[in-house]
Structure 1
Amino acid sequence: MQELHTREQVAAYLREARVYPQDREIGIFQTEFAWVCWMPLTSAEQVVAMRTPGTGGCCIVDARTGVVTSYGAARSWKTWGEMYDESIRTGERLPAQQVFPRQWRVVFQLITETATELDYRVTTESLTQPPQPTAEYRLTITKQPRGYRTNIPGAFPTDCAMAMSKITMLQKNTGSWPEQGFQEY
């Protein structure tokens, strides 16, 4: 793990990990056990963040391990930092999602495409040591109106949601449906 003793080192670590966009300023605040980081929002982004759950949050870089976890916007970054330090002292975990190092790779492969639907094979691969079991799903996307389903009736696993997000982003950016790709989280 890189040494994380200064704001500059933390900013470089987060950019290398692609936690935040490369061209944006990162706010960084040091606590006893970690670095609390956030991306200052423009006034237009603040309006959207107030209407969109899960935006405007912060992440915390554990100064001892380099693990980056994501926290919501319900509290201020300073409050998250205080809570994180207290959780280290007491041994209680805060509810958060690890965003780096990444733990999973979701690979998608187009199986069939018709005029109305696409079928993708979605496979998860563990990036941890020891590795976790892999899983495989079938994701069907309806083109118009846009919809989706999986081979698990009534369920939409996180892995399929990650694949769906990447597939629709690529389709929007290129104008065509991707044949294959992956997303790590």
Structure 2
Amino acid sequence: MPDQQFRTRDQVTQYLTQVFSPDRQHTILETEYGWVCRPVLTQQEIAQGQDLGLGNYVVNKVSGVVTAHRSLPPDLIGQEYDQAIRAGQPVQGAQIYPPMWDIQITLTRETATEVEYRVQARSLTQPQAEQSIDQQLTIDKQTLRTRTDTRIIHSASRHAVSWAEWRSRQDGTWPQSGTFQY
């Protein structure tokens, strides 16, 4: 195995404060190729039911890439993770850090039942021009069903839907614009 960037639990703990929040604590389990991390919830978060389906994160010991994983016991996630790396297969989790896309959304139209956004996304991992997205995205306010001006809805547009819907729940209005990374 190449030199490990994250050799100790303390290094991983410090890194997690950059990725998430300095206030968020995690339980951490070391595996051969990674560190399986699970957020420690407050009593209020547990009372709100946030512990149901609580997932795991894995920090790769060498690269520092953080992937989100299913709500299985951390030791099982660690076994799956190590097995995938040993076999040269992709890990089952979705990369959440470092971000892979820079996304900007701009509201272009709103009716009583729909909002339409222009979604522009630029790859942070492959910044060539062909690695950018420019889609019109229409969201049904009630069902959150979407349609685009292209045949395929890009994952950046799916994240834009989640982000816009989350923002709309904050104050009851759909955002005029915004920029975020995933």
> TM-score under structure 1 normalisation?
0.79
Residue 57 of structure 2 aligns with an amino acid whose one-letter code is C
Is 1:13 paired with 2:15?
yes
| Deviation for aligned residue 1:156 | 4.6
Aligned residue pairs: how many? Answer: 176
Matches within 5 A, 1:112-151: 112-129=109-126, 131=128, 133-143=131-141, 145-151=142-148
Q: Is the 1:162–1:183 contact (alpha carbons within 8 Å) kept by the matching residues of 2?
A: no
Relative distance call for 1:63 and 1:112 in structure 2 (3 A) is same
Aligned equivalents of 1:47, 1:179: Cα separation in 2? 31
Can you list the C-alpha shifts for 1:45-67, whole angstroms capped at 9, x where unaligned?
695554xxxx3121111111111
1:31 is the counterpart of 2:31? yes
**Contact map agreement 1:139 1:148 (CA 8 A) in 2:** no
Instruction: State the identity %.
Output: 33
Partner residue, 1:81 = 78
Deviations 1:87-137 (A, max 9, x none): 333323332211111111221111123444322101221010454621222
Unaligned runs of 5+ in 2: none
Counterparts in 2 of 1:29 and 1:112: CA distance versus 1, 3 Å: same
Q: What are structure 1's unaligned runs of at least 5 residues? A: none
1:68 is displaced (CA, Å) by 1.0
Match of 2:176 among 163, 174, 179: 179
